[in-house]
Amino acid sequence: MAADRDRPAKAAAEPLAFAQDRLTFLLALVPYVLDAGRVTVAEAAAHFQVSEKQIRDAVSLIAVSGVPGETTQYQHGDLFDISWDAFDEHDEIVITHRVALDDSPRFSAREAAALIAGLQYLQALPENVDQGVYSSLMDKLARGASESPSQVAIASSDSTGSLAEVRDALARGVRLEFDYLSSRGSAERREVDPLRIDSDDENWYLRAWDHLRQAVRTFRLDRMTGVTVTDRPVDEEHGDLPLGDSLFQAGDDDLVVTVDVDPDAVALLGEFMAGVDTRRLEPVGDRVRARIRVAHLNGLTRLAAARPSAVTVVDPPEARAAVVDWASRALARYDG
Amino acid sequence: MPSENRAVPPVPVEERLFSLVLALLATESGLTKNEILSTVQGYRQRFEVHGDNASLERQFERDKDDIRELGVPLETLEAPGDPGNNQSLRYRIPRAAYELPADISFSPEEITLLNLAAMAWREGSLSRESRRALLKLRSIGADTTEPVLGYAPRIRTRDAAFGPLSDALARGLTATFLYLKPGSAAARLRTVRPLALVQHQGRWHLKAFDQGVGEPRTFLLSRISGAVKLGRQPLELAPGDYAAEALAELDALWEANVAEIEVVPGMDAAVRLSRRRGATLSTDGVISLHFTDAALLADELAGFGPEVLVRSPEHLVEAVKARLRLAVDAHSDGSGGDSDGS
């Protein structure tokens, strides 16, 4: 079923690494269980997208927690209590005695700000969501914060290219056709099974099964033209293809290029640095040296021409020559 | 340290913090520091009735900061008859300010959007904040219908300065950093009071009150070099919608600046530049493009190499040519200089 494939990568049930986050979880879990009355460990784990062990550990801690009370001795009535039978025998959570805590906590200024800025970013999505929904949501988040949200904002971008068509094909499980200019500069008509839409700030990408190449490829939406949503269904067998979080994977047949980079500009290299430990780069003068893998020289050549004061290609000689050729040809246009 | 302390099995940090929140929520009149340290789970085990509790007190100070950072309104009350005396200060968490207002609820459609909004930060500096916000959202019990969206949107904060600056912003602290203005030879040290962090055209900007010039300024995060140092004392700030102001200013700048660029039809530059917001393509293959920052646009146009010929404004043309010449020089071997481009 196409629907299963299209699900975005979910935040995996990663353990909560920080005590602050584990405290937040405890403060969130109690009102949820109180509200539900009775809930299984599995349901709670699915709801909070954490592991069942995390739920059990949290419940065990809540069950022995409470307030010092009048005696300051944490007497029985000063503690939470749960139905141990339900918990031990049926894996169910029932709070039978509550202390101090009833309702969900407010958002912090930064938490509200993160969600509000995220919503601003999403406003460009072609989801037929009424713009009023966004503003009402942002208003609720601001009211639900303990202090006014930090001033973090993202200008809504409207240069999302063919996002609406791509989104449509993905939702309906049909193939997509478009002319695509590869970064090598050649244009081709492609026919693909759309798998997932990724974005990276201003840039939108489609990962799709490319029928021409018989492989998963990543396409920039702003390089697609002549986009047609076909009525041919996608092949079911590509539904289970694993899609990592990284848009571009370095291949074995890639070219290894040595570059010197201004330490403040290492972030410029972005996806080029996939697989490189940016904290352990060899210092060379006031630069750092990195060995990166590229499928072809085109992207790196453009970067070196764009930011010559920050990035220099050191090796191999043909990579350096490509930069000289590219920049010289550009300069020659101004002489004509 | 008395040896008996070592025998006490340590109470997990979250248990101590949880117990502190419960104790302070349960009290109307507040608890003194001494009462907290001597009775609350996690502190009481380490409390010395007649001894020195300095390290435990420092622990309590850190815990207060950690709890407040989560949006828990931990209050300090001065004793009416004894103002200024730290020992008689009372601490509490007022329930109304702690709890999410009862009338706030979210529809499944809203939860879907909030999940996506939080997910967009999955590798940014605000990823922990987003995850905590999601835990709190789920606490309300709102179930998502898990609609199939097929999106994995992502907001990047690749600029190393984002983390410390958002911290300074949230805590009202000053920030000091080296800033390289385009066109200047060397970076200059700036001390500012952050007002807002905004992303415009995919780039993060800081709007801040520059203490050196006594006026607000907008800084591009990618031009901050090295470490950002934060001040110690929070500063009061006049309320205002600084983020909206900063975005409006950047938009006005964008509106006012127009570049004319000749493109080669069908090439990467032509396809991508012509699809930018507000871009127009004339019949003779010239794109008119709005921009906010000439240096950034020059970088990008130099990268397009021979696919573009910048016609105006003149300073943009010169900036692009300067980058191309530098690229040729930096990549030409030997001293002979085999570049004939300029």
Kindly tell me if the per-residue pLDDT of A212 is higher than 90.
Answer: no
Which chain A residue's Cα is nearest to B157? Answer: A201
Closest CB from B113, B196, B305 relative to A327: B305
Distance between CA A153 and CA B126 in Å, rounded?
Answer: 13
What local confidence, expressed as pLDDT, does residue A223 receive? 86
Please give the interface size between A and B, counted as residue pairs whose CB atoms are below 8 Å apart: 411
CB contact under 8 A, B133 and A187: no
Q: Please say whether the beta carbons of B36 and B60 come within 8 A.
A: yes
| Choices 2.30.30, 2.40.160, 1.10.3470, 2.60.120: CATH for B162-245 | 2.30.30
> What does the pLDDT average to over B298-321?
95
Same CATH fold assignment for domains B4-98 and B162-245: no
Chain B residues with beta carbon closer than 8 angstroms to that of A24: 70, 132, 135-136
More confident residue, B302 or A122: B302
Q: Does A310 touch chain B (CB under 8 A)?
A: no
Partners of B69 on chain A (C-beta within 8 Å) are 20, 108, 110
Position A277 scores a pLDDT of: 76
Q: Dump pLDDT digits (tens) for A152-208.
A: 988 876 656 688 889 889 888 899 999 998 766 678 899 999 998 888 877 888 999
pLDDT-derived band at B8 (thresholds 50, 70, 90) equals low
Sheet holding B90-92, edge to edge: B31-32, B90-92, B75-77
CA–CA gap between residue A230 and residue A211 (Å, rounded): 14
- Any idea where the domains of chain B sit in the sequence? 4-98, 101-156, 162-245, 257-331
pLDDT at B1 over 60: no
The answer to whether residue A248 neighbours chain B at the CB level (below 8 Å) is no
* Average of per-residue pLDDT values in chain A: 86
- CB-nearest partner of A198 from B133, B154, B198: B154
Contact A305 B119 (CB under 8 A): no
Cβ distance B243 to A153 less than 8 Å, yes or no, reads yes
Element (H, E) at B194: strand B188-200
Q: Which fold has domain B4-98?
A: Arc Repressor Mutant, subunit A (1.10.10)
Do A137 and A64 form a contact (C-beta atoms < 8 A)?
Answer: no
Smallest Cα–Cα separation from B142: which of A32, A94, A136, A49?
A: A32
Q: From its phi and psi, is residue B230 left (phi > 0), alpha (psi between -120 and 50) or beta? A: beta
CB contact, 8 Å: A147 with chain B?
yes
Reported as type and span, the H/E element at residue A199 is strand A187-200
